[in-house]
Structures are given as structure tokens and as C-alpha cells.
Structure 1
Amino acid sequence: MLRIIPARDGGICRIKLPGGVLSATQAHAIADASTLHANGVAELTNRANLQLRGVRSGHEAALSAALLRAGLGPASGLSSADDVRNVMISPAAGRDPHALIDTTPLCAELLTLLQSDARFAALSPKFALLLDGGERLARVDHPHDVWLAASPGEAGVRFVFGLAGCPEPASENPNAGEDCDTHGTGALAAVPPSQVPALVRALLHTFLDLAAADATRMRDLLATHAADALLQHAQRYLDFPLARDASLRHWERQLPADASLRLGAHAQRSEGMWHVGGQPPLGRLDATMLRGLAALAQSHGNGLLHATPWQSVLLPDVATQAVPAVLAQLSALGLACDPAEAITHVIACAGSIGCAKGLADTKSDALRLAERLPAGVDVHLTGCARSCAAAHCAPYTLLAVAPGRYDLYRRDGHPGFGQCVAPQLTIDESAALLARLARSTPHA
């Protein structure tokens, strides 16, 4: 947020939201600031943050100042502290009735830890932590540098952890294991919740102690050091024993995650309370949408909005009697609230309009594709091979090769996007082929 990054369509300002949470007052401030200093649109990201694009030349300092006044920056005000605020939790943390533990207090502790140790400023801005409380509404297929997942134990809930990957999905998930980074460690050991901050601190110092100058992610360190060696080094920073737990070799998450729970209305843990979610087209919220969401949160919720890593928005703590009105108003604002709507299954990067590396206008092409897409087919459009819009491996990926032309990939266990099933397709050709593929492989 304090370092505006240049791009083809102007500057990019990234706003990190603690736990993905944004107050209604802050939403109004972002709407005002984006209108005055940028292109008037706030984009939801796959890390449950926001970014403003099209920041006007000469407006950078004024934009950052406006966002700081709204309380959207790091406590210290230093850009280095802002960069490391990367902890992902469920957007329904503390409210999901399936959760084993409320991760919001631990998330706050970890964010304080990351910002309070000056040494952690050396971490890459992409270095990230996942804190999974066992919720059904959870994005657990994004590889993280350190992941921790709640698991029942004899003495109560404990956190199983691993490096450079993600929690192993429940076995009934037909895509179990496919999205987790193959360079990750799997489950290594487990600690009680009270030891999580100390464990994370030790692992981060271990990374900084041992990583080469060009190693920015935990997977880079694991390419040169065995996981057991990292645990032994981390032990230097801990006053409790840390070693690989062989009993966790085949550990997996208890429940499969269900991304569709981000949309529509779903009961919370507290009786009579619901969270209601909607997804703006391609994750883009204009100022009118932002202000409308803020008003809804104030009138029918608790004054807070929760960004999700699926580029959607959740309004928590909505009373039963208010649910129909909230759903109607979300739809009126232009947000899709039903997972049957094709636009909720399409993601796209900035494309050639906003990025010099983009080979096609992916945003416009994605909207056209959504009009022709068969039900239930998840597609990722990317303007180049960097895959900025998707940290996970999508079932289908359209990789731009020229304006309006894409190679179609299908996830099938191959590295990267999977197997290329057809080259040089137009959007219409892509839609037709996706329909045929969906009929032949309905669970792809």
C-alpha cells in the first residue's frame, strides 16, 4: 500500500486486509480514494486482499495517505511491515459451524509477530502463512510457505503443520492432493494452539538463517535443505521439543472444503445468524458496489465485510429475517449469489489492458466466455504463464498466445497447468470445447 507498483494501466496499490476483514467505514474510504486517485475500481485478490489499479501519476502519496488515515496500513506505517502481512484464514473463521477452533485470535497474534520483528522485513512480499481452523468454507488448495491446520487430538485441538504446500484434502475429495505443491513437505508435526506463534517465529528465522540470497520462498529452501534439517535448526529458537512426527505421515484434513459456501446464505455457528456472500464479476468492485456493500453491512450485518480468496465478499452476522433482503440487494448491486451462475466459475488476470506481459485482453474475453460457459465448469484465463490470478491449479486454464487466442489446458496431474488439449482457440471455440469436455468428464 505504501509502494505503488507501476503497470501498463497506471500504478497498482495493494491493500492488505487483516484476516480479510474490512470495515464499512474503510470501504467508503477506499471507494472515495479509488475514485479520486485511481480508476475507481477495487479488485479482490486470491489472498483475500484488495488492490487498486490505474493509480494516476503524481497521486501516489495522496492515495497512500488517504488509506493510512482509514487505518488500512501497518501499525508502524513502514512499507516493510506492510509487505509481510500475509496470513490467510477462512472468511468464516469463528462462525463456520464445522470449524474445530476459532482462528481469528491466532491470526491477530501472527500478524503482530510479523510486523514487530524487524528481521522479518527481509521476507518476500509473497511469503505467506495459512491458518486453517477446519472450516468447510476454506481455501486450502493454495500452496503457502508455512501451513497450519487444526486437527483433533487426545488433549484437544492441535495444529498440524507443513512447509511449502497446503493441508492434504480429505480423501473423499475427487481432486485430493492435486492442488498441493509437489515441492511441499506434507504434515511434519503438530503443536497446541498456544505454541503456534513461537513455532512460526522459529520457522521464519530458520528460513532467513539458511536461505540463499536468491531464495524467496520456502520451496526454494527445501530444494537445498531437508525438512528434518530445518526442524533441527528451528529447535534453536524453541523451548519445547520439535521433531517430525511419523504418525502424521498419512494425515489428511477431516472435512473437504466447499468453495460454493462463499455464495448465497449459510447458517453460522450462532443460532439465527447467517453469512451472506456474493461475487462481483471477475472480482471487480466499483465505487457504487463498495458503498452499497458498506451500507448493507451497517444496516443488516455487523458493520464488517469479509473478502474471500475466491474474489468474493461475505457479509457475516445477518439475522434470519434479513437474509432475503440482503440477497436481493447484493444481486441489485451486480454480485452473483448463486454458484450456478457461470461468472462465479471464471477468473482472469489483468491481461494486456493492464499488464505489459499479457498477450490478450483476458478480462473482456472472460466475460464473453462466461456467457457461453456450461454449468459448473471452472476456468482460469491468464495472459501469460505467470498465472497471477490463480495460486491454485484450476481444472481448466486458457493461456493466451495472441489477442483473442488461447491454448486450453486441462488439469490431469501434469506439472504446471496440466495437459494442453487444444491450441490457438478463440473464445467461442474454447466454450464449445469446454462444453464437450465437461460432458465427457463431469468431475474434472
Structure 2
Amino acid sequence: MLAAMPDSAPSPLSVGGASPRDGGAAGTTPRVGGDACPGTLRLHRADDGALARVRIPGGVLSADQAEALLTAAARFGDGELHLTSRGNVQLRGLGTECGGELAGLLTAAGLLPSAAHERARNIVASPLAGLDGSLSLGPWLTELDRLMCGSPAAAALSGRFLFALDDGRGDVDALGADVTLIAEGPAGAALLRIGAADEVFRVPAAEAPRAALRAAEEFLRAARDSGAWRVKDLPDDVRARLIGTIGAASGPSVPRPRPRTATPPAPGLVGTAAITADVPLGRLTPTQWQLLTDTARRYGGELRLTPWRGIVIPRPVPRPEAADALRTLSEAGLITAPDSPWTGVGACIGHPGCAKSLSDVRAEAGAAVGVPGRLPVYWSGCERRCGHPHGEWIDVVVTPDGHRISHVRGERRDPPTTVGNDSARLAAAVAEARA
């Protein structure tokens, strides 16, 4: 659980022309003007109303905090809650006048501990950490968030800058974070990765959160003249100097290439330690969110939102009752088994929620759902590809000429195929690409 840290009172909400990305589109994003990433104190104007993004470090929510988010969605928005590719929550359909009330509700729930840092609190964590024999990341998560909210310099981090805490399995290490901490067995050591570097630095586990924050602050100094939002945006020579500077202040370097593909938790039961469920297209109705909250309250009071638009509920009761809970979640429309046709299917908000989208990609993704594929697929209504996955995946992008389908492997992209606006041909082409 993340405790709220005292800070200055939230300022009134403002609405700006912020990008709705949470995870970023392909390519680099140089800094132009102020940080326009949406948050809860700065909303994004969308065609379906204003959008707020609530940062949930590590994806960890108490049942009471989940209830507060549901209240906010019902009182100020369209009632639905959307999960992002960083384990955050977006509220849509908001009125621009909700400002102070929304901020007050989230502050009271411990979801807005620092007005100055609310868009900088981007931390993903291995969602099964501590549940299946792996190391618990709770102390790192709590300490890193506390240190970040106490650092005046960290308030200048872009809303796109990302920290990752990996329990050693490589799941969130593969997500392309700017600063990654990796647990290294029971020996009391941690590995620190900067950007996509193939080498990591060994630091004492007790000092790992402070080392991660120092790395982020060092990035800000390096980025001052380059206009970079993220480590990958830095010029090659500046990035090399940054890594060298951080290495000089850390322990010895160790070769460890970043994993190419992330492996999310499979929906279902994790032994007797957790229930996991994925959310079709990351979109939760009030009824579904309430059911998940009630289930979490019954089984320990915590939910963990995953970067793959899923939810882990730790500490369920014995297997027969947990199986009943899974069945109830399945009947509510959630993904509770790996063989679900929805497994691995994602999409941006599309039309009509986004003015830039060329089609209703969520409806198209639903129409194309069939036999589960080997590879995940992500549907984007325009070239920005908001919220796209990392690693290996099938990229479907709507263009004026039809749907462009390509196989992405990290930084590599196979020659694409373009399919016209024929739903049957499109579904067949996507299924073939995923096989």
C-alpha cells in the first residue's frame, strides 16, 4: 500500500491540449514548451469530454481508493474507468468545471499526495511480485514514491518519463522504462538500468530507490540543453555521458540486455496466492469495477493494475472459493482464462472519443476477435498509436487507404500489408498475422 505524503494543496484543475498517450507513440518526442501530458490537475480535451489520468504507482490500489475512483467517474465523468499501458486509470467524459472537487476527492483518498509531482509519479512494477515466490517490491515502491514526492527537482520530470521495478522475472524490464530497478535474488543487491542500455549497475538493494531517483535527477541535468523528454530522446553522446556519470556513482556494471518481450500474468489463478483478470480493451463499466473492488475487499483489500490492462487481486481464499470468484468475474465480461479470444487484443480509444482517429477501432477489434493468436495485436486509429505495447506484437493502424498491418519486433518492423475496409478480409489478415 502506498501512503499519502503531505505536500502543498492541489491547484485548481486546468484543461490543456495535452496528448492522451500513456506509454508514448513510436519514435522520439523532443521537448517543446511545457509538459502537456494529462493528469488530474491538467485535463486533456477529447471529443467525448475532458480526460483525467490518475497515476497509480506500481498499479497498487486499496479497495477504498478503488471506491473513490468509481465515485469520481460517476460524479464527474461518464462512469467508466479505463486502464492504461502503465497501470494508470483514466476518467473520461469529464466536465471542465469539476476541477477542485475532483482534486479534493483524490487527495482525500491518498491518490494525489503531491500536486507538484502528480504527473511525474509514473512507476510500473511486476504485478505478481511477492505472490509466487518472488521478492516483494512494496518497500522499493513506497520509498521511491516518497523520495520522488520529496524531491523538488523530480517535479520537472515529464509525464512520459517512466520508472520500472522488476522482481527479476523481466516482465516490466521489457517495457522500455527510462530507469529500471531489477531485484537480484536474495543477495541484497539490485540492478539499475538506464534506458535501453545493455549493461546494468549493481547497487545495494537498500539504496536502490535512492539510486533510481538520483538517476532521474541526473537525466534532468543532461536533458537541460537537449530538449529531451525521455532517455531515448537524448543525443547518443549525451546519453553515453549520462550512463557513464550514473555508473561512476553506482556499483560495477554487469552485462544484461533488456528482454525483448514482456510476459504479462496469465489470467486465472496464481496458485492460491492471487486471482488475475484481464479487461477487454482496458474499459471497465461501473458494475465491473465495483465487482473487482468487492472481490478485493473480500480477499485482502488490495488490487494491482497491470501494464497490460489487467488486474491482480492478491491473497484470495482457498482454491474452490477463488474459482467461484473467477467464474463471477468471467460472467461479468472479464478475461479469466488464457484461451479467451480477447487475450492479447488492445486498441486506442478511437472514434468517436478521439478526433484524430480515422475509425472506431474498438468496434473493429471486437468484430475481428476470434481464435486467440500467438502474438498480441494492437489497433490504432491513427499514426500516433497511443498506448501501444512493447516487444513483439502485431500493429494495426488505420490509414486513409485502409488498415496497415505489420509485425513489430522491438525496434524492427516487417514490411506492412494494407487491407481495405472489408471486415471479413481484415479479420482474416489479423488472425493470420497473429498466428
TM class by smaller structure:
0.7 to 0.9
Equivalent residues in 2 for 1:327-338, closer than 5 Å:
327-338=326-337
Q: Could you say if the C-alpha distance between residues 162 and 135 of structure 1 is closer, same or farther in structure 2, counting changes exceeding 3 Å?
A: closer
**Does residue 161 of the first structure (1) align with residue 196 of the second (2)?**
no
Asked if structure 1 preserves the Cα contact closer than 8 Å seen for 2:342 and 2:372, the reply is: no
Structure 1 position 115, deviation (Å): 0.9
Structure 1 position 225, deviation (Å): 1.6
Other-structure match for 2:181: 148
Q: Deviations over 1:132-191 (max 9, x none)?
A: 11247x3332101111222348xx142222222xxxxxxxxxxxxxxxxxxx22123211
2:245 counterpart SS class: helix
Equivalent residues in 2 for 1:109-124, closer than 5 Å:
109-124=143-158
Residues in 1 aligned to 2:257 and 2:218: alpha-carbon distance in whole angstroms:
24
Other-structure match for 1:340: 339
Other-structure match for 1:84: 120
Q: Could you say if the C-alpha distance between residues 251 and 152 of structure 1 is closer, same or farther in structure 2, counting changes exceeding 3 Å?
A: farther
Asked if structure 1 preserves the Cα contact closer than 8 Å seen for 2:279 and 2:310, the reply is: yes
Other-structure match for 1:275: 274
Structure 1 position 421, deviation (Å): 2.6
Other-structure match for 1:383: 381
The one-letter code of the counterpart of 1:115 is: C
Residues in 2 aligned to 1:192 and 1:306: alpha-carbon distance in whole angstroms:
26
Equivalent residues in 2 for 1:391-406, closer than 5 Å:
391-402=389-400, 405-406=402-403
Q: Deviations over 1:361-414 (max 9, x none)?
A: 1111111111x35544421001122221224144211101149x3111112566
Q: Could you say if the C-alpha distance between residues 150 and 426 of structure 1 is closer, same or farther in structure 2, counting changes exceeding 3 Å?
A: farther
Asked if structure 1 preserves the Cα contact closer than 8 Å seen for 2:86 and 2:124, the reply is: yes
Residues in 2 aligned to 1:103 and 1:414: alpha-carbon distance in whole angstroms:
29
Q: Could you say if the C-alpha distance between residues 188 and 222 of structure 1 is closer, same or farther in structure 2, counting changes exceeding 3 Å?
A: farther
Other-structure match for 1:221: 234
**Does residue 72 of the first structure (1) align with residue 97 of the second (2)?**
no
Other-structure match for 1:172: none
Structure 1 position 56, deviation (Å): 1.9
Q: Could you say if the C-alpha distance between residues 231 and 414 of structure 1 is closer, same or farther in structure 2, counting changes exceeding 3 Å?
A: closer
The one-letter code of the counterpart of 2:231 is: M
Identity, in percent, stands at 29
Asked if structure 2 preserves the Cα contact closer than 8 Å seen for 1:93 and 1:135, the reply is: no
Other-structure match for 1:3: 42
Other-structure match for 2:202: 190
Residues in 2 aligned to 1:134 and 1:102: alpha-carbon distance in whole angstroms:
11
Structure 1 position 111, deviation (Å): 0.8
| Structure 1 alignment gaps of length 5 or more | 165-183, 268-272
Other-structure match for 1:206: 218
Equivalent residues in 2 for 1:256-267, closer than 5 Å:
258-259=263-264, 261-267=265-271
Residues in 1 aligned to 2:137 and 2:313: alpha-carbon distance in whole angstroms:
18
Residues in 1 aligned to 2:141 and 2:86: alpha-carbon distance in whole angstroms:
14
Alpha-carbon RMSD across the aligned residues, in angstroms, is 2.5
Residues in 2 aligned to 1:435 and 1:249: alpha-carbon distance in whole angstroms:
37
TM-score under structure 2 length normalisation = 0.83
**Does residue 436 of the first structure (1) align with residue 432 of the second (2)?**
yes
Residues in 2 aligned to 1:42 and 1:69: alpha-carbon distance in whole angstroms:
19
Equivalent residues in 2 for 1:285-300, closer than 5 Å:
285-299=284-298
Other-structure match for 1:40: 79
